[in-house]
Each structure stands twice: as structure tokens, then as C-alpha cells.
Structure 1
Amino acid sequence: MALGGFARAAMDYTQHVNVFQGTTNGGNRFPGVIAAPFAMVKLGPDVQKGNTDAYSGYLPEGNVNGFSLMHESGTGGAPKYGVVSQMPVTGNVTNPLSDLSQPRASADQGSIGYYKSSLASGVAVELAATEHAGLLQYTFPSGSTQSIVVDVSHVLPSFRGLGWEQHYSGGNFSFFSDGHYEGFGTYNNGWNLSPDWNVYFCGRFNQKPTVSKTFLGTGPTPASYDTTSFVSGTQRLGGVFVFSESNITSRVGISYVSTTKACQNLGDEIPESRNLQELVENAKSKWNSDVFSKIQVSSTNDTELQLLYSSLLGMFMIPSNLSGENPGWSSSEPYYSDIFTFWDTHRCHTSLFHIVEPVAYEEFIRALIDIWRHDGFMPDARSSNFNGRVQGGSNADNVLADAYVKGVRGAINWEDGYSAMLTDAEKVPPNNNDPKAPDSSTKEGRGALPDWLKYGWITPKFTRAVSRAVEYSTNDFGLYQVAKGLGKKADAEKYLNRSRNWRHHWNPNATSNGHSGFVVPRQANGSFAPQDPLSCGGCYWGDAYYEDNPWVYSLNALHDIATLKKYSSGDSKFVDRVDKLWDLKIFNAGNEPSFTSPYLYNFVKGEQYRSVERSRQIGRLYNSGPGGLPGNSDAGAMESNILWQMIGLWPMTGQTTFLILSPWFPSMTINLSNGKTLEITTKGGNKDTAFYVQSLKVNGEPWTKSWVTWEDIFANGGTMDFVLGESAAEWNTGELPPSPASGDQ
């Protein structure tokens, strides 16, 4: 069916969404209920199978041990949240601390705003939600005893043995004469190594329990389990409720602030009169209006439509909009958390976030700056209201620079934004003594800054020295962009020069497979350490390169590509260097440092067609099924990648440049802010076999450049009209894309 004309506004795009996309094969996507983009409540099942980490709570096989209201999506490292949980049990619960988990009788079902699990016990559990509250609808088998266990100590465990597992520290639980209950849990650790944090809850049922009990204990049996209405302490605790009827509706509100706020959220968002179907319809309407309707295509291929709209869902699950739910400080500014992580998302996610959700994006930028105001640093990652962990550079700098050069203003205080960036660039963060990287802070900022300031490179005394140096260079380029825009000429010159420091790691004598010159570790005395360009050791926290090898990081100074071409001995060697990522089986589409590498051919005249070929190769690694992502979703980074392939562009973060690829659809409309649109059309080709660009018009004018700018097509809308064909054509004979840090070669 073609999505065109007057039907667009009323179109239900959710029919094309598979909420289980990317939930297996390492994608780690969350398939449960998220009632709106960035909603705080993410309600779904928690599943355990042996010692397998369930990063989002979900596994396709294993036993369900609870349904909880808070999850992340697509993350690696270790699971986070899985808190505010309850579990239905048939029969009397003699020991709420025992294993109450159940296998599923059939595969889970889900769609936008709705989720259902059918347990082997005969209990059917249907879920719906709002932004700060969840609804759980239980249907028990007839003739059974109906019990619901609320376990405050429930968290998602980790079995990796890396010290990133979550801990329950304590809490309290109360039930009241009207049948409702309140309390909070305290938790800590997780991948970001956060200290204690609290989440508060307030729950009600549609019928008054016949029996209400609390429990408290640590061992195989509770130290107390009786009708006492209040328990508190560091032991496991919670409540058990027994009902006389088989159909039970449970409504729960949550808050980071207080039980009073949790009860308010519940009353405001899911009053007793609101039913499951109404919540489902509200969620569908919200996702349609806020996200799915922003990109419309002409297509009769439901496989492609499912990939498009399922990927859009995956992009906007996190971060979480916690405005009004910030327990750390009082502020009129928006507040967002659950950032996993800018190391993943700054490369192509945040630029599409800006286009699809511009209002939320401005709020998000303001929130980052406000975190700096109160916590001292912007996050590279943040969860449970705590910064951490930094994998490479201070990549919030890149995100702010990208927003600034593309004209995001609104209520943003850019002087404060620049000051936040300056903090990253000049202030050494206190060492948080991370066991995996004890040399410097992994909480925030640039831990290896002492070397960066002293030498202009990073010595091996700091972990991830080379990958950090490449990223610090792009971070400093971000400062240059904002300083230049704000008229800070001396700062602009300083940070432009510093953005070239990656060159200090370039060893022209390092060789591999017919190529000379790679970024390698450099000692304090200026000598280069021996380095095999095909090796990155363990490629992890303690190594010189993080999650990729010297071949990839040697192509990652994306603000200085002309220098890279010069260092690589010219155009033909540069093209071959990019080719070698495939010839040597180095390229990994699931690894973020590689994301832009396939499109660097656009920096050589006549070679854009190679970028298109790589784009199509990457596109074939995706589908809308459970195993449809080539790696962790990484908070939507992976999904934003395939969405840019469909659009036929690639963003250069921190610049206004978009590299031109080849669109998938005969026509695509991207709805921009203020009623403007970008219209992209193709003629004479198709996505799979005739995808080479033959010619292009931008805003009606013939176009021979392999790139466009924000101002060309996004700032005021625009058109891109492609003619495609089955064979490559050297159409890109015009000016090459900018290389803004290369002026001093």
C-alpha cells in the first residue's frame, strides 16, 4: 500500500511495527510497553535462563520471574533496572522468597502499547502503560487461588562477573486499609557503578484483597511473613496480596521523588476509570503523531515498511524524559537520563533525533547543560541519575556542537553550553577508581586530559590511549565549532589546533597489507610503541584501542579527512585503505567506530558509488525480525544507522555536512519542524539491483557534489530528486566535502 496524500494524517503506522525486532542475536532490545517516546515507565517481563544476562529483561526462552516497570533497551555491559516488580502466583504463597518463576505456555505477544505473556501456571498477563505508570491485567485460571507478590528487592541480575551487577540495598513497604500500597527500593551499582538511588511506587488493585501480608528476610524462608502493614530495612521485603476473583487489574505509579509523587502519577495517568484498551490506543496515537508520521514513504513492500517503522521505535525508547522526576536538584529546565551512551549515539543517532523530534531534542540539549550546572560535568552516559561510564571521549561535546551548527537555539543558554564543553576540555575529573580502568575517571569528562594538555597525545599510562586521543580530537573540534559561532576567536583557534592532535599518534612507519601510517600508542618521550595495525589486544577497557583496531581508528578523524588522504599517500591509496576494511574482514557493522568508514569514498571524486555499494551491503544485515540487528541496539544507534541508509544520506556529526548515498524508496517525505518537509524521490532504479546514482537535482538544480548541507535541505526543507541505474556513473565531479581541520597541512 502506498502511504500518500490525505490518508497520511490518519494512517496507523503501528501496524508495521514489530516490537520484537532486535530482541535476540545480541540486539538486546526491549519489547515491552513504552507508552510514548522517552517514557519513564518501560513495562515488561523479566526472564531468567541459566546464567544468561537479560539486558532488557527479556529473553525468548526461560522462566518469567516478574513484571517490572523500569528497563533499558539495547544496552550491553550489564543489565540495568528491572525494578518495581510483581509476580502472579496460583495457590497460596507459603514463602515469597522462594523461586516463584514460571515458564511461558506460549510465545509472548506484543504491539505498540500492548504486551501479553501466558504463563505455564495458566495465568495470562496483559500490560499497558503511560509515561509514569503501568497497568497489569491478570486473568487467573478458574478455581485457583489468586496471589500477587510485590518484591521490592527484585532487580535484573548480571552473571558476567565483571563487577557491574546491580545490588538491592533496602527499602520499605506499606499496605493500607483501602487496599493500596506504597514504598520504595534502594539500589546501586550496575554498568555505570552508581551509588544508592531510590525509586518510589504506589499501587492499587481493582478489587480489595482478601488477604494482605508483608514479608522481610534474607534466607530461604522469610524472617517475618504476616499481616503487619509496614516493613522496612536492608533485607528483602515486599507484600503478598490474595484475591477472591480471577480477573485482577493492578495499577502502579512510580517516581524518583517520593511515594506522594508516585501516587499522584498513578492518579493523574491511570485513574480507576481508564482501561487497558484506552491506554493501548493512546500509546498508538502518541507514537504515530510524535515519531512514525514524521517519515512517510511510497512502498508496497511490507518487509521494508516493517524495517522502517520498527527501527524508528527502537530509536526513541531511551533516553528517558524525567522532567519533574529529578531527585538531585530543583530546576525549571528539562531533565533527561538513561543515556546509553554518547559514545554509541553521537555518530548518527542524535542527528536523526534532532530531525524527527526537534522539540524533545532541544529539551535534551538543555538537560545536558543543566546536568553540568548541578553535577559539574555533562554525561557521556547516565542512568539512575548518575553519570558513567565514559568509554572514549567526552562526546556530549560533539552532540552540542552538532546542535549548535545546525541552528538549534530555542531556550538553550549557549554560553552555559560552551562553558560545559570547556569543563570537559580543561578540567580533569576526579578518579572514580574503576577496577576495569583504574588509571583515571570513567565517570565523566576526559580522564586522560593530563597527557592531552601536557604532550598533545596520550601515553600508554592511560587505558584506551589511542582511541581516546582520536575522540578527544573530535571533541576539541566541537569546541572550535561553538567557540567560532559565539565569536570567541582565540578559543576557536586554540581548539582547532588541538583538534589536530590525533596526528601526533600517526606513525608513518607502521605498516600493514601494503599501507603505511596508522595511529599507534606514543610514549612520553615522543617515540612510538610497536603496534600491529591488525591487532587491538583485547579491544576493551584496559587496552590502547576500545572495541576496534588501528585500521578503523586511523580513519576516524572525520573533521580532518583531507589530512588522512594526504597521510595515506593520495586518493587511490585512500580508497584502497577503505576497501581493505572489507578485504581483510575488519569492518563490523555492529561496532560504532566503524559507522562512518563505509562512506569515506565520498571524499574522492568519482568514487561515491562505492559508498552506495557499502551502504547496500550494510542494509542486507538488517531486518525487522527478532535477530534483525547486526549488534547491540545500543539505545537506538544501530537502528538510526539503517534509517540513514533508507534516507540515502549520512551525517557528519559536529558539521553541517551530509554525505549522499542512495535512497531506498521511490519517494520519501520527512516532516520537519514548522510544517516544512524534505522530499526525496528516485526514478529509474530500485533498492536492490539498480541503486547507483546517475544524476541528482537538489531543490530543482543539477547537483554534482557528493554531499549536501543542513542549510541545503533541512533548515528550510527542500527536495532531492535522484535518477538511479544498474551501473556506476561518475556523477560526483564537483567540490569535495569539507575537511575543516585540514587547512594547515
Structure 2
Amino acid sequence: MLPQKSWHDLAGVAVIGDQERLSLLVIKVVAEVDYSQYVNVFTGTQSGGNDFPGVARPFGMVKLGPDLLNTRTDSYSGYLSFGKFSGFSMMHEQGTGGAPKYGTVAQLPLVGNITTPLSSTTVGRAVADQGSVGYYKAQTSDDVVVELAATAHAGMYQYAFPTSSTGKNILIDVSHVLPSFRGQGLGQGYAGGEFNIMPDGHYEASGIYNNGWNRSPDWTIYSCGYFNTTASSATAYINNVAQTTGSASSNSSTVPVGGLFTFTNATFSSRVGISWVSKAQACENVNNEIPSWTKFSKVVQNTKDAWNSEVLSKVTVTSTNTSNLALLYTSLYFMNLLPTNQTGENPGWKSPEPYYSDIFTLWDLFRCSTALLHIIQPVVYEEYIRSLIDIWRFDGYLPDARSSNYNGRTQGGSNADNVLADAFVKGVRGEVNWIDGYAAMRKDAEVTPPNTIPPDPMAPDSSTKEGRGALPDWLQYGFITPTFSRAASRAVDYAYNDFSLYQVASGLQNHEDAAKYLNRSRNWRNHWNPAQQSLGFSGFIVPRNLTSFIATDPVNDDGYWGDPYYEATSWDYSFGDIHDMAKLVEWMGGNDTFYSRLETTFAVGANPSNPTGILFDSTNEPTFNVPYLYNYINRPDRSVYQSRHVAKTLYTTAVNGLPGNSDAGAMQTWVLWNMIGLYPVTGQTTFLIHSPWYECMTIDLSNGKNLVITSSGGDGNGDTNIYVQSLKVNGRPWVKSWLEWDDIFANGGTMEFVLGPDPVLWATGELPPSPATET
């Protein structure tokens, strides 16, 4: 059992002591509990989850791990369970799809006489890799053991070669990137670089790269590496030609540069720092964070301690079920790898503001992830909000996605608007400049971004870099014609975005704007065809032209970049505009028909083309809210049943334990909210109530505030007796199926559930808000 009682006992003791004593005791308790033991870093690394299993600090710039090469499969986060090692690199994304990004600043151990090192060299894997929080271990087919550890801006490699090996080599290939084999024109490119062996034996390098999922132009990363023993030989190469000067430079995409270090020692280590700014900064990063005398084990332990104190200890439970503990802490781990905190490492502009990149993507994250980040990482969250606004100041638009310091790609709407609105309505102020924040949102709503040159070949009609590319139709007609790709799904997103502007405009007392954007937030209705039928139900979001609706098959019309709907069907998207839910319920036929439609969504065999499956798509984010929509007709018991079934059957800690791409932790935050017993409605202060898994969960809200959620009558693991019989919030009986931010999060609070085996009608109060629906 995790010693949650120690926290409560500690709080009781601390009230009679001073603040310094409390701080020391809290640090001691956190240090004594190793929550990281429950984290399985290989969860979701196979079957499309694409989780990153390597080593990193929370939100760290360095994500050091293996890069596996197989010419049939993209290794999105570097890792594959098969293939050959092409390197162990310092930079990766977490859990992404689309196409790989990074795989830069790599080392690769090789045995023998290496005559052509810069030839896309690979080496096999001898045994399955091992890993835990802060530590990674691999063994190549040459029987070289590679161990990895990391800090925020630097990494450490520890090598053990067979003592009998001749030629114990480390290759640094500046041209190394994660390739893509999908054939969509999103493969990363190398555009040149430098490699220099310095007089004291350390090396300094830089590489220029481009493309990847966000189609970014050239960007440069700098690195600085040291070995803890002197190499018997160290040679710089240009296109496999040894350079007697120890320096190599190329401005060509076809001419790789790098270096080969050969050692007589069988065991040695390497320290490497990276920087977006300069080689000197890369050297400063590694020497500040991993000085030459640092033991490998200390780097591992410090990273584990950082995860325990900064992230994992934020949520404690009384459960003894190791499977549930593993899912809880593994999910917390993966949701805090991104975004990347690059404060002080912004190559684009000078600013006193924080800077976060590797936002992949707010289309994936705004529904669940940013709301949970706010709760368990309020300092990081405020910095993140400030960073989004600063990106607008200097780059011109808020990002919907951002990687290698470049906005892109925007899959739907301008969803940073939703994130900013959520922060605003929940009272995030601090150092956030909300005048600028609203100006950034208003630009998204009013100014069409220029199309990129060349245009995105998968959606050439408008910019996929930032903003709202289909804005001309939205402004002129109040709907989006097939002139623009993803017209129907973008309309759903744009309506949500405009509601977010309404929320902030209202709070800033800009009544004229508030009225305009509230009205525009209802424009999803212009895509509603009441005559469109599917499986006995009428009324769906459909594509349309200037004069008529365009018929589709709502259970099979999901698509991709060039289609009317992006990564979900019209059956899914028709539930999307939750800010206007009362109107959706009305237009779907009222409470009874809405209930039947939701039930059909989860009914096995409802899709005639897939009689063994269900309509609900657990693999993509547009359906995240659907299991909880029963609350809008006061049937939270069905929200409990449907969401718990999804969580318990599709989420595990196995290597295939995610239903789809992690998408920077989006999937993990969905299941975390299910454990908590709430679902956030982004852009509002509303949280929908279902039921918690644990007998007691304490969420540290920072500044001495806690949310304590207890349940009696359940099994303590969320498997049986899952239905709410009664609820008290802050000691008061509660009969609403929802609550607000101020009820339990602003100042902390308590939720006391009584659970049982059968549903009862406990939620008899007013329905959750539907603020865009006319009253």
C-alpha cells in the first residue's frame, strides 16, 4: 500500500510546527515513497501507441533513447521492438503519429575496423531492451551494453564492450534522423552540419534538419560531447573521408559529417549536452547538469527523484492493486513528457517569457490533457499559457501544434483558443497578459493565415501551419464549403473556438465581441442536416455547399486531410459542440432519442460494415467526451458504465495497452480522468461527474491545497460496485451530475461517494450548463 496515511498524519503534525519544519517533513515523505516503481516505460510502445520508453526529466528537452530502423515501419518515438539500432539519440517526441520527428544528436557503438562510418550504419539487437524511470539498457548484436540516463538538457551514455573486442568505436553521425517510410512527403531531411574534435578531446557539433510531421523548414541543433577516457584515435569525417584537421563541415544534404572515436578501454561513458542556441550553450548545459565527476547512477537517481517529487507524488491513493497502481503512475508519467520546456533555449527571439515547444498537438490535447496539467502542474501550466501567447507575439499566430520551433500542422481549428479560454475561466492570472492573450485569439478568429509555399500536398487548399485556413467561408457564409478540406469537422472545431472567444471576451467586459462570438459559436448548426439518416436516427453534421447539404454515410465517412471529416465520422462529430449541448439534444430528438443514440454508439454490431464492432472510436480524440454525454440528460449511471467499460477493456500497462496513438499523453489523461471520476469540459468551469476507482485518492493542488476523493461500497479498484448511490461535495449532499472549478479545485475540497452494484437515480438536480443554447 502506498503510505497515503503518512500524508494525513504529517498534516496533523505540521499544524503545531513551523513552515520550515513542514517543508522538510514533506520532502522526507516524498523521498521515502518511490512511486516510479509502478511505471512501466514500455507501456504503449507497440501496436500504434508510439510511447517513448527512453530517459527524460519531466518536460525535459533531452529525451534520450534508441532509434530502431526497419524499412517497413516508422519508429515515431524512436523505439521499435524489432529492427536494427541506427543510433541512440537525444531528441524524440512522445507517442505521436503522422510521421517521425527528431532522432537527432546520436551516438552508436560499433565493433571492428570501421572504414566507412557515415554510411547509414546499423547494428542488430541481442536481447530485449530494459528500462525504468530514468534508466534505459540495450545490448547490440555485437554484445555491447548501452545504458542511458538524462537530465533536462544533457544525457549520459555508459558503454560496456566485450573485453575481447577489437575496435571499440563510438560513431557520431550528424546526418542521423528518424526516417519515414509512409510515402507522404513527411520524411525528415538533413541539410548539412559541422563536427569538430577539440584539442582536449571533446567534440562540438551542429546539424541542420527539416520537414517531419509539421513540415518545418531548416532548423539547427547544437551538441557538445565528452568521454571520460581518452580515445586511442578520434577522427572527423566528411562523406567517409577522414579529415586530418579534426574538423568537418558541409552545407549539403548529400554530404554527411561526423566523427569516429576508438577506445582501448572496454567500459567508458559519454556526456552530451544539446542546445538550440549555440555549441557553447550545449557545452555549458552538459557541464552544469552532468559535471565530469558525476556518477551514472547519480544521474539515474536524480531523474527518478525528480519524477517522484515533481509529478508522481501529486496523486496518491490507498489502493494495493499493483495493476491499477501501475496504470495510474504510468499514465501520469507519459502525460508529463511533453510539452518541452525550452525556456532559455529559444533561437527565434529574445523574451523574458517562458518558452515551451513540442506541442503535439492541441487538437489532441485540449479536451483532457491541458485541464489535468493545470491541476497537477499549475506553475508549468501558467508558463505554458504565457509561452503560447509569446509565440503569437513573435511568430504571428498561436500554435495548434509546434515542433522544432515552428508552428504546424493544424488538423482542425485554432485549438489554442480553447486552451486559453479554459485557463481564463478557471482564474489563471499570475503573469499572464490577458489583453495580449485575447488579441491572439481574436487574430485566429478574424485573420486568415497565408498558405504555405509550397502548400501542404495533403491539404493544398489552405494553410495547415496555424490559424483557421477555412476562415473565408466561415466569415462569409457561417459554414464551410468543400472549397476547403475537412470542411465539416473544421466547422465543428471553429464553432468551439468561437465559443472560447466568447468566454474570454465576456470576462474582459468586451460585450460587443462576446455577443458576436457567441452567435458564431452556433454556426455548427448550419452544417446540421435534419434529414440525414443513419441506423434509424435523423440529424447529423454534414458537408454542404452554397445551396444544399451533401449526403454521407455517418458510420463510415471518417477521413484524413483531404476529406470532409478528419479522423472521425459524422456520427462522432455530431456530438462535438458540447457548449451547445441542449440544442444538440433537442435536434437529435429529445432526451429519450438522445439516450438511444448514445446507446447505439456503444452497441456491438451497430455498424453494418463491422458487425462485431461498435461505432464508438476509442482511437482518436474527437470521441473523448462521448461516453460522458449521458450526464446532459441526468443519466450519469450510463456515463459510468460506458466510460468504465472503455477504460477497463482498452487501457492496460502492456506494450499494446493503448487504443491508439498516445498523442503526447492525450490517451493517458483520458484514463486518468476516468480514475478520478470526473470529466473536464474545456472552455467552461464544468466537470461532469461519473465515479472514482479508488477508496481514497488525494490530488495535491499545490500551495497547501488538496482534493480528497473517497468512495465507500466499491471494491477499491473500480471493477465492481461502480454506480453512485449518493455523493457529498465538501460535506454537503450533492444531487447534480456536475460541479464547477470553484467547488473543489480553486481552494481544494472533498468528494465523498457511496457506490453500489446497481444504478440509482441520484442526480436529480439541474443539468450541466449549455451556455450557447438560447434560453
* 1:609 maps onto 2:637 in alignment: yes
Q: 1:629 to 1:658 in 2, by over 3 A?
A: same
Distance in 2 between the 1:502 and 1:3 partners? 49
Distance in 1 between the 2:641 and 2:402 partners? 36
The alignment-based identity, stated in percent, is 59
* Aligned with residue 719 of structure 1, among 747, 750, 758: 750
* Aligned with residue 510 of structure 1, among 532, 538, 544: 532
Residue 93 of structure 2 aligns to a residue whose secondary structure is coil
* Aligned with residue 708 of structure 2, among 670, 676, 679: 679
Could you tell me which residue of structure 1 aligns to residue 431 of structure 2? 411
The 8 Å contact of residues 3 and 299 in structure 1, kept in 2 or not, is answered as no
Could you tell me which residue of structure 2 aligns to residue 388 of structure 1? 408
Could you tell me which residue of structure 2 aligns to residue 618 of structure 1? 646
Distance in 2 between the 1:430 and 1:611 partners? 42
Alignment size in residue pairs: 735
Could you tell me which residue of structure 2 aligns to residue 71 of structure 1? 92
Which residue type is aligned with residue 5 of structure 2?
G
User: How far did residue 23 of structure 1 move?
Assistant: 0.5
Distance in 2 between the 1:259 and 1:131 partners? 16
Could you tell me which residue of structure 1 aligns to residue 381 of structure 2? 361
Distance in 1 between the 2:99 and 2:249 partners? 28
Over residues 554-575 of structure 1, what are the superposed CA-to-partner deviations in whole Å (9 max), with x where a residue is unaligned? 1101100000011011100011
Distance in 2 between the 1:735 and 1:576 partners? 21
TM score, norm. by length of structure 2: 0.94
Over residues 259-287 of structure 1, what are the superposed CA-to-partner deviations in whole Å (9 max), with x where a residue is unaligned? 01111111111110111111111111111
Could you tell me which residue of structure 2 aligns to residue 232 of structure 1? 249
Could you tell me which residue of structure 2 aligns to residue 694 of structure 1? 725
Could you tell me which residue of structure 2 aligns to residue 735 of structure 1? 766
Distance in 2 between the 1:149 and 1:118 partners? 16
Which residue type is aligned with residue 387 of structure 2?
A
Could you tell me which residue of structure 1 aligns to residue 443 of structure 2? 423
Could you tell me which residue of structure 2 aligns to residue 399 of structure 1? 419
Alignment of 1:218-617 (within 5 A): 222=240, 224-233=241-250, 234=252, 235-432=255-452, 433-525=455-547, 527-536=548-557, 539-583=559-603, 584=606, 585-605=614-634, 607-617=635-645
The 8 Å contact of residues 178 and 208 in structure 1, kept in 2 or not, is answered as no
Which residue type is aligned with residue 699 of structure 2?
I
Residue 90 of structure 2 aligns to a residue whose secondary structure is strand
Distance in 2 between the 1:93 and 1:312 partners? 43
The 8 Å contact of residues 42 and 655 in structure 2, kept in 1 or not, is answered as yes
The 8 Å contact of residues 602 and 642 in structure 2, kept in 1 or not, is answered as no
Q: Which one is further off, 700-709 or 228-237?
A: 228-237
The 8 Å contact of residues 425 and 476 in structure 1, kept in 2 or not, is answered as yes
Over residues 562-591 of structure 1, what are the superposed CA-to-partner deviations in whole Å (9 max), with x where a residue is unaligned? 000110111000111111212222111111
User: How far did residue 100 of structure 1 move?
Assistant: 3.3
Distance in 2 between the 1:658 and 1:414 partners? 24
User: How far did residue 531 of structure 1 move?
Assistant: 2.2
The 8 Å contact of residues 236 and 248 in structure 2, kept in 1 or not, is answered as yes
Distance in 2 between the 1:732 and 1:540 partners? 39
* Aligned with residue 134 of structure 1, among 155, 167, 187: 155
Could you tell me which residue of structure 1 aligns to residue 23 of structure 2? none
Distance in 1 between the 2:76 and 2:552 partners? 35
Over residues 83-127 of structure 1, what are the superposed CA-to-partner deviations in whole Å (9 max), with x where a residue is unaligned? 001111112211102353222221111111110101120110111
* 1:202 maps onto 2:244 in alignment: no
* 1:669 maps onto 2:698 in alignment: yes
Could you tell me which residue of structure 2 aligns to residue 631 of structure 1? 660
Distance in 2 between the 1:382 and 1:123 partners? 36
Which residue type is aligned with residue 610 of structure 1?
R
Alignment of 1:126-205 (within 5 A): 126-144=147-165, 145-205=167-227
The 8 Å contact of residues 71 and 181 in structure 2, kept in 1 or not, is answered as no
Residue 121 of structure 1 aligns to a residue whose secondary structure is coil
The 8 Å contact of residues 382 and 389 in structure 1, kept in 2 or not, is answered as yes
Distance in 1 between the 2:175 and 2:111 partners? 21
The 8 Å contact of residues 648 and 661 in structure 1, kept in 2 or not, is answered as yes
Distance in 2 between the 1:32 and 1:530 partners? 47
Which residue type is aligned with residue 106 of structure 1?
V
Could you tell me which residue of structure 2 aligns to residue 119 of structure 1? 140
Distance in 2 between the 1:647 and 1:530 partners? 40
The 8 Å contact of residues 212 and 227 in structure 1, kept in 2 or not, is answered as no
The 8 Å contact of residues 202 and 263 in structure 1, kept in 2 or not, is answered as yes
Which residue type is aligned with residue 141 of structure 1?
P
User: How far did residue 431 of structure 1 move?
Assistant: 0.7
Residue 248 of structure 1 aligns to a residue whose secondary structure is strand
Distance in 1 between the 2:267 and 2:555 partners? 61
User: How far did residue 4 of structure 1 move?
Assistant: 1.5
Over residues 577-628 of structure 1, what are the superposed CA-to-partner deviations in whole Å (9 max), with x where a residue is unaligned? 11121222211111100000111000112x1100000111111211112111
Over residues 9-40 of structure 1, what are the superposed CA-to-partner deviations in whole Å (9 max), with x where a residue is unaligned? 33110111111111011100000000x21100
Question: Gapped runs of 5+ residues in structure 2?
Answer: 8-28, 607-613
Which residue type is aligned with residue 78 of structure 2?
G
Could you tell me which residue of structure 2 aligns to residue 3 of structure 1? 3
Distance in 1 between the 2:554 and 2:644 partners? 27
TM score, norm. by length of structure 1: 0.98
* Aligned with residue 646 of structure 1, among 630, 655, 675: 675
Segments ≥4 residues shifted beyond 4 Å: none
Distance in 2 between the 1:92 and 1:130 partners? 33
Distance in 1 between the 2:362 and 2:382 partners? 16
Residue 579 of structure 2 aligns to a residue whose secondary structure is coil
The 8 Å contact of residues 697 and 722 in structure 1, kept in 2 or not, is answered as yes
Distance in 1 between the 2:209 and 2:546 partners? 42
Distance in 1 between the 2:627 and 2:149 partners? 41
Over residues 458-510 of structure 1, what are the superposed CA-to-partner deviations in whole Å (9 max), with x where a residue is unaligned? 00110000100000000000000000001111111110000000001001111
The 8 Å contact of residues 89 and 100 in structure 1, kept in 2 or not, is answered as no
Which residue type is aligned with residue 725 of structure 1?
G
- Aligned Cα root-mean-square deviation (Å): 1.0
Could you tell me which residue of structure 1 aligns to residue 63 of structure 2? 42
Which residue type is aligned with residue 636 of structure 2?
Q
Residue 63 of structure 2 aligns to a residue whose secondary structure is coil
Over residues 414-455 of structure 1, what are the superposed CA-to-partner deviations in whole Å (9 max), with x where a residue is unaligned? 000000000100000001111000000000000000000000
Which residue type is aligned with residue 724 of structure 1?
L
Residue 411 of structure 1 aligns to a residue whose secondary structure is coil
Distance in 2 between the 1:202 and 1:26 partners? 33
Distance in 1 between the 2:285 and 2:260 partners? 23
User: How far did residue 129 of structure 1 move?
Assistant: 1.0
* Aligned with residue 17 of structure 1, among 39, 49, 66: 39
Over residues 393-429 of structure 1, what are the superposed CA-to-partner deviations in whole Å (9 max), with x where a residue is unaligned? 0000000000000011110000000000001000000
